């Protein structure tokens, strides 16, 4: 690996908060040894990451379109899944820039670009975990308070909660934008923490690690256990009453919605009752599967990253630690790129909505073309 690539690599490691080395140790960092781990990393970075970035952004955009354009947007869990699609796309974009800068044109060392994508990296990590917590809180509320869930677990309230947590995260991470800069050292430009701010940033990163990973991970695990225990016990009497009431009202709702769907927009999920669908226990089980996928992919990376950050300032990450962190970081990106595939696999309603969306759009296009042909004749 060339020296410039090494400096870029080390700079990214420090800037992303995965180590405690200061700016002054960069020039003394040893050369990357000829080891199988680093050969594997080189191949993954060269071929795996660009594929994952491209496929991931496409899947996230498609997932967002499918949810927002169909009746799934009326179901609170899918509102959270759409939020995941937005956050995941932002994360992938934040990672594309450093990757492309090392191979195409180094925009990562342009003032402004450096701070923005550094900021997005931390912001998306924070939101990923807390959206997971919010989603599990909602599913636990549905399990434990099914009689109130139809009233309080609404898409509007969910969107308001997501806006609040997003604004909070945006404000709390603003310090990242003015404590980093593009600095030239020995003729090499690096996007790093400003040396005068290193000590303060070490403290702030420890606080950020606590609230971006440690607290949400314990809350997430507690909520998973709580939901599984309640799910295993079985539905309560109140839950059965609501199911009976909802199923009895489906016909009436379908009749009243027929005219509205014809008048307003096509019905992608025929006979779909969003409120009844939201309270189904199987949805909670499938949401837990998604959360377990997130834990499986993200936990090793975030745990090692937290360990390096929380160690005292005299600790310098070893070459093996940095190598494993890089490998876990690339596996970590799978969570942000391939969740859309998981939605497609475990939710038949998602598949149905996607297929109907394609059909309706194609039919509409064909009808428009026929009208144009008739007009010309």
Dihedral of CA atoms 199, 200, 203, 206 in degrees, nearest 10, equals -100
The C-alpha atoms of residue 293 and residue 287 are separated, in whole angstroms, by 10
Cα-flanking dihedrals φ and ψ of residue 192, to 5°? -140, 170
Query: In the predicted model, is pLDDT for residue 209 greater than 70?
Result: yes
Residue of 95, 13, 16 lying closest to 52 (CA atoms)? 95
Highest mean pLDDT among 41-55, 105-119, 152-166, 312-326: 152-166
Tokens of 300: 């090793």
The C-alpha atoms of residue 127 and residue 121 are separated, in whole angstroms, by 10
Give the chain's domains with CATH numbers: 3-376 (1.20.1070.10)
| Paired strand residues for 193 | 180
| Amino acid 317: pLDDT | 63
**Structure-model confidence comparison of residues 197 and 344, the more confident one:** 344
Average pLDDT in the chain: 78
Distance of CA 18 to the CA centre of its chain: 19
The C-alpha atoms of residue 296 and residue 129 are separated, in whole angstroms, by 13
Residue 365: how many CB atoms within 10 A of its CB?
A: 10
Q: What percent of the chain has pLDDT over 90?
A: 34
């Amino acid at each position: 690996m060339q020296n410039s690539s090494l400096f870029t690599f080390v700079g990214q490691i420090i800037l992303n908060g995965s180590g405690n080395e200061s700016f002054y140790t960069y020039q003394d960092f040893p050369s990357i040894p000829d080891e199988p781990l680093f050969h594997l990393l080189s191949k993954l970075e060269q071929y795996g990451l660009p594929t994952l970035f491209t496929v991931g952004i496409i899947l996230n955009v498609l997932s967002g379109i499918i949810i927002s354009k169909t009746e799934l947007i009326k179901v609170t869990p899918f509102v959270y899944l759409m939020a995941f699609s937005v956050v995941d796309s932002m994360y992938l974009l934040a990672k594309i820039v450093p990757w492309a800068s090392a191979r195409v044109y180094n925009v990562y060392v342009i003032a402004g670009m450096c701070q923005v994508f550094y900021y997005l990296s931390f912001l998306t990590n924070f939101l990923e975990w807390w959206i997971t917590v919010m989603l599990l809180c909602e599913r636990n509320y549905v399990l434990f308070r099914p009689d109130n869930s139809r009233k309080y677990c609404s898409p509007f309230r969910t969107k308001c909660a997501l806006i609040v947590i997003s604004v909070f995260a945006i404000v709390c991470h603003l310090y990242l934008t003015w404590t980093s800069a593009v600095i030239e050292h020995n003729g090499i430009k690096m996007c790093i923490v400003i040396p005068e701010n290193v000590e303060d940033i070490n403290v702030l990163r420890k606080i950020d690690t606590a609230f971006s990973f440690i607290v949400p991970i314990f809350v997430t695990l507690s909520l998973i256990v709580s939901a599984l225990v309640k799910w295993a016990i079985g539905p309560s009497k109140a839950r059965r009453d609501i199911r009976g009431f909802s199923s009895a009202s489906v016909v009436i709702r379908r009749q009243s919605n027929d005219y509205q769907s014809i008048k307003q927009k096509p019905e992608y999920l025929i006979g779909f009752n969003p409120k009844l669908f939201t309270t189904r226990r199987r949805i909670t089980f499938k949401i837990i599967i998604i959360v377990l996928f997130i834990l499986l992919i993200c936990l090793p990376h975030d745990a090692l990253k937290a360990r390096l950050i929380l160690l005292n300032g005299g600790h310098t990450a070893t070459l093996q630690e940095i190598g494993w962190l890089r490998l876990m970081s690339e596996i970590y990106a799978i969570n942000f790129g391939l969740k859309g595939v998981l939605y497609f696999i475990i939710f038949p309603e998602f598949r149905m909505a996607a297929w109907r969306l394609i059909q309706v759009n194609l039919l509409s296009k064909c009808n428009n073309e026929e009208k144009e042909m008739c007009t010309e004749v």
